[in-house]
Structure formats: C-alpha cells, structure tokens
Amino acid sequence: MKITSEIFQIGGSGFTSSEDAAVYLICVKGCVAVVDAGCGRAADKLLKNMENAEIEAQRFQYLLLTHCHYDHTGGAEALRKRLDLRIVAHEKDAVFLETGDSTVTGASWYGARLNPFQVDLKLHKTRTELLLADRAITAVHVPGHSPGSVVFLMESDGKKVLFGQDVHGPIHTDLLSDPAAYQASLKKIRDLDADILCEGHYGIFHGKDRVREFIESFMKS
C-alpha cells in the first residue's frame, strides 16, 4: 500500500501474518530502508510485497527497528541475510536482541523464542540523524513502552512522516515498561507535529489533527 511516493506498507495484519506488526518500506533515489521486520513467519510474503511495490532498489541500506519486541524483530535476521541490510536499534533494546531474551522481547507471548542476533548500529543519543541517499531520517529515543523505543521521522512529498510503531503501548512489567517515561514520551511524540503517523497496529493516520488526536488518546490528563 502506497503512503507517499517513497513510502509503502508491505507487512502487518492483512499484508503478511496476523501476528506481525506493520512493516514499512522507504525508497529514496534507489536507496531502501525497512522499518521493522514482523515475527518472521511470513518472510517470503514480505519480500513478495516488496517486489509488488515496484521500487527501483539499487541499494538496501537499513533495517530500522523501533524497539525490541518480537512482533517487530523476529524476522530481522532473515531480512538481513536476504537483503544485506544493516540492523539499527537503540542500545537499550539491542542488549535484549543480542542475548535472545524471550521475556523482555515478548517472544514468549507468541509461544516463540527469539534467536539472538547482532545489531549493526546501536543508537545511544536522544536524537540521531541517519542518511538514506540524501534524505535525513531522524531517530528519536522515546522510552516507556520498552527501554529503547525509538520513533523515526522524515520528510516525504512535502509531508512530515512519523514511524511511531507502538504509540499505543502496552505497558507491562515483562517488557520493562516505564509508565512515567511512556507518558513523557507521548508528549515528545505529539510535539514532533507529524502530518502522517505510521503506527504498528492501528494503521496510518493522515493529517496533523488526526495524528495528534490518536497520540493524545493514550495520554493521561
């Protein structure tokens, strides 16, 4: 599904496996980044959807992981092997991916075990700018849902597009969630003032008012 001329949804419920969080593809001047990887149980379908997007991919560059949870990361290693992508995640979540922690990553919630894998680029700052061709993608650390949750922000077709995969939470002790940090991060995400929000489970929101309304629905007054 096309979101802008450069951004597509290629995975998630209705696209790959019902257990997958949304997976998005970004293609700028032939350079490709993928946002999240699903559980990995429908990798062939994910790659087929990528082909159907009819992009002119010249270089697969990044797999941008918004956080460590299994429905976003279980398919990461398979995508790296098949597309030669560099896996990017925040260092506070990378530790759980590299040790294969099936509790903190929520893999056990799916009756699965997370096989450990290496994170190629560990984010550690509050904001980090990555380049895809000549386009900046800004990673913003938004802890709460997980210790190393990140949103990614970029401009496309004159719109500010936000990949905020689990804006909705949930907050759970197994996931090392921090309710106070989550509320503070919701305010930070809202104040990014995005035109389009690509969420992990609730779909895509167009228009600043709809984006703000959705984010604020999870904020405590």
Is the predicted pLDDT of residue 221 greater than 90, yes or no? Answer: no
Beta carbons within 8 Å of 191's beta carbon, 6+ residues apart: none
Is the predicted pLDDT of residue 60 greater than 80, yes or no? Answer: yes
State the CB neighbour count (10 A cutoff) for residue 203. Answer: 14
Note the pLDDT tens digit of each residue in 140-185. 999 999 999 999 999 999 999 999 988 999 999 999 999 999 999 9
Q: What is the pLDDT of residue 101?
A: 98
Is the predicted pLDDT of residue 65 greater than 90, yes or no? Answer: yes
- Compute the mean pLDDT over every residue in the chain, rounded to the nearest whole number: 96
Whether the CB-CB separation of 38 and 114 falls below 8 Å is answered with no
Among 53, 21, 6, CA closest to 164? 21
Note the pLDDT tens digit of each residue in 181-212. 999 999 999 999 999 999 999 999 999 999 99
Question: What SS3 class is residue 6?
Answer: coil
Bigger pLDDT: 55 vs 216: 216
Is the predicted pLDDT of residue 31 greater than 80, yes or no? Answer: yes
Whether the CB-CB separation of 35 and 24 falls below 8 Å is answered with yes
How many Cα neighbours within 13 Å face the side chain of 194? 29
Q: Where are the domains of the chain?
A: 7-216
pTM of the model: 0.97
Report the helix count and the strand count for the chain, using DSSP H and E: 6, 12
Domain 7-216 indexed as CATH 3.10.129.10:
no
Mean pLDDT of 43-66: 91
